[in-house]
Amino acid sequence: MKKCVPRDYKIHRHCFTNSYPVIEPFLTEFPNLYVGFTALITYANAKEAREAVRQIPLNRILLETDAPYFLPRGVSKGVCPFSHPGMGIHTLQELSLLKQEDMSTVIATIRDNTTHVYGI
């Protein structure tokens, strides 16, 4: 990427499911790279992604649903068989827990990050 992408280019690393050591060099090299997390982080067995959330600065994180995939933990397929944008609140809540920040701080920061990347 260093050879092809300008350093200040806005990048959304979609649906990150890996470990912090994998993403850390990209965060260092590209100051406008943001890492998207889905409801996958609501599952305790997603250890690498959950630890990455803890280590990545909040001002570099985006919230995703990746609908219709990644139904949040605790949402029964009998209630809804697929994920949708309304379920983003589950990912927000888990981000808040993992970052040890209140939900209002997390959502405000995520909103600012989204505005920076997408202008919306």
CATH number at residue 36: 3.20.20.140
Q: What does the pLDDT profile of the chain (120 residues) look like in tens digits?
A: 889 999 999 999 999 999 999 999 999 999 999 999 999 999 999 999 999 999 999 999 999 988 888 888 988 888 888 888 888 999 999 999 999 999 999 999 999 999 999 998
Element (H, E) at 21: helix 20-29
Angstrom distance (rounded) from CA 81 to CA 4: 40
The pLDDT of residue 36: 97
* Residue 1 lies inside a defined structural domain of this protein: no
Asked if residue 100 belongs to a domain, the reply is yes
Q: 71 CB contacts (<8 Å, ≥6 apart)? A: 39, 77, 80, 81, 82, 83, 87
Q: Which two tokens stand for residue 60?
A: 């570099």
Question: How many structural domains are present in the chain?
Answer: 1
pLDDT reported for residue 89: 92
Q: What is the pLDDT of residue 23?
A: 98
Tell whether 26 is covered by a domain.
yes
Domain of residue 48 covers 12-118
pLDDT at 72: 87
Is residue 62, in this structure, part of any structural domain at all? yes
pTM of the entire predicted model: 0.93
| Predicted pLDDT at 42 | 95
Rounded to a whole number of angstroms, the distance between the first and last alpha carbons of the chain is 26
Asked if residue 4 is part of any domain, the answer here is no
Asked if residue 51 belongs to a domain, the reply is yes
Q: What is the pLDDT of residue 70?
A: 83
Give the CA distances from residue 88 to residues 9, 22, 31, 105, in Å, rounded to whole numbers and listed in that order. Answer: 26, 25, 25, 16
* Distance, CA of 115 to CA of 117 (rounded, Å): 6
Q: Is 29 inside a domain boundary?
A: yes
What is the per-residue pLDDT for 85? 87
38 within some domain? yes
